Amino acid sequence: MASNHKPSASRPVSRSGIGLTGRPPSGIRPPSGSIRVATGMPPGTARPGSRGGFIGTGGVLSSQIKVADRPVTQQGLSGMKTGIKGPQRQILDKSYYLGLLRAETLAVEIKEFQGQLADYNMELDTLQLKLDSLNVKKESLEAEIAHSQLKQEALLLHEKLDELESHRDQMVAEDKSMGSPMEERERLLKQVKEDNQEIASMERQLTDIKEKINQFNEEIRQLDMDLEEHQGEMNQKYKELKKKEEDMDSFIETFEETKNQELERKAQIEANIVALLEHSSRNINRMKQISSITNQELKIMQDDLNFKSTEMQKSQSTARNLTSDSQRLQLDLQKMELLESKMTEEQHSLKSKIKQMMTDLETFNDLSALKLSGEEKKKKLHQERTVLSTRRNAFKKITEKLNTEYETLKTQLQENETHSQLTNLERKWQHQEQNNFVMKEFIANKSQESDYHSIMKNVNKQIAEYNKTIMDALHSMNRN
């Protein structure tokens, strides 16, 4: 930090070290009204008492610094006046080189601080890797233990044993000697993390147990309601199924008889139609064979023919009706067969449902056994809940105790001189980084401002042109 360097007691105060004073007029140049600004180093980086101006406050360096207002050089010579603005600083005085040396010193200090910080970070990373590997190993062991009830019980016993042994070892260790603050801090942090994880696991288990208890109570209540509703509904359904089964049985029993009757009726009607057709054909043949008949016989035969024609038309219409009835009955027969197959399947399914309902009814009739098992599970879960609540309270007390010890160690660590020095070094390193960055920007800006090569080229070009013009003028004068 720029403001942390102590001023040298043997170094005399320079002519511009107290505030911002005006430069006395030189013997060659008349007095100037401009105020001399400290050069060589940016404000805030010079040591107190040197030619850099006022005492810095130790903050971040400002890059808004103008050196162009300096009217004369350190030796009192006035600068060359040109038509354009010339280079800002062409003479590097003592303060400039002192600033460069100081920047190098600060860079060395920054590298040292960076090395120390890198060592601390490596040590911290090593400890973190060890902690991560232990956590992974712990999680794998917990996963193995979670699949075995015996291992869980053994784990509980081991935890109790480890707790007692750790308490004993802790008391013995406290009696012998206290460990280093870093070791105590690491141990307490690890213990707090483990306790927090175990408390969270216990709370999750307790929540799961509560949910299971509520679920079992809801199932018992639902079973009671279903049993009461099921008994009434089951009797009604049984009666309906019984009635439907009787109807189906009667239909199946009379189906063959009805089918045979309809087939016989159809065959009889077909035989009558054939007989009438044969009789009509014979009568037509007889009429052709008769060559001579009387009018009365013709009239009788005509009436007979009309009657037979009417009967034949009736027989034909009857045959058509019987054919349509036969087709309709065939369709009805197919529908009945399909319905019979469906009813058979439904009957089998209903019988299986009735069998299942009877089995469920026998199971639900033993309501006392169901209630007894539910009460036993409820009591067991209540006991587990009580045990877990007791363990949770014990862990909370242990956690509170460890938190208190952690806060105490944290306070001791903050009061430790090494920790304070490390914190101060980190702050100094950050501040030096800021100063270094600002210094680099300042040097880059001033390097750009002091770049005189372009102006030098322009001046040389103009001088060459002037010399050429003078030589041409001399040659022309000599010729004249």
Mean pLDDT by 10-residue block, N- to C-terminus, for the chain (480 residues)? 40 40 41 41 42 40 44 49 51 77 88 88 88 86 74 74 77 64 71 79 79 78 70 68 75 77 80 76 68 66 78 80 81 82 84 82 72 84 89 89 88 82 88 90 83 83 90 85
pLDDT attached to residue 165: 78
Q: Which residue has the tokens 């960076």?
A: 114
> What span, in angstroms and rounded, lies between the C-alpha atoms of 343 and 348?
9
356 and 245 in a common domain:
yes
74 and 61 in a common domain:
yes
346 domain residue, yes or no: yes
458 and 437 in a common domain:
no
222 and 113 in a common domain:
no
285 and 358 in a common domain:
yes
426 and 321 in a common domain:
no
Q: Which two tokens stand for residue 406?
A: 């952690």
345 domain residue, yes or no: yes
Number of domains in the chain: 3
Instruction: Yes or no: say if 46 and 52 are a contact pair by the CB < 8 Å rule.
Output: yes
* DSSP-derived 3-state class of residue 327: helix
Q: What angle do CA 428, 432, 434 make, to 5 degrees?
A: 120
> What span, in angstroms and rounded, lies between the C-alpha atoms of 42 and 48?
13
392 domain residue, yes or no: no
> What span, in angstroms and rounded, lies between the C-alpha atoms of 95 and 2?
15
Instruction: Yes or no: say if 452 and 90 are a contact pair by the CB < 8 Å rule.
Output: yes
> What span, in angstroms and rounded, lies between the C-alpha atoms of 441 and 437?
6
97 and 65 in a common domain:
yes
437 and 355 in a common domain:
no
pLDDT attached to residue 477: 85
368 and 233 in a common domain:
yes
444 and 372 in a common domain:
no
pLDDT attached to residue 290: 60
Q: What angle do CA 19, 36, 440 make, to 5 degrees?
A: 85
Instruction: Yes or no: say if 65 and 25 are a contact pair by the CB < 8 Å rule.
Output: no
425 domain residue, yes or no: yes
- Residue 468 lies in domain: 452-480
238 domain residue, yes or no: yes
396 domain residue, yes or no: no
Q: Which residue has the tokens 């209903």?
A: 350
Q: Which of 381, 403, 437 is the last residue of a domain?
A: 381
358 and 426 in a common domain:
no
pLDDT attached to residue 76: 52
Q: Which residue has the tokens 């712990």?
A: 138
431 and 367 in a common domain:
no
141 domain residue, yes or no: no
> What span, in angstroms and rounded, lies between the C-alpha atoms of 423 and 421?
5
Q: Which of 381, 406, 431 is the last residue of a domain?
A: 381
Query: Residue type for 25, please?
Result: P
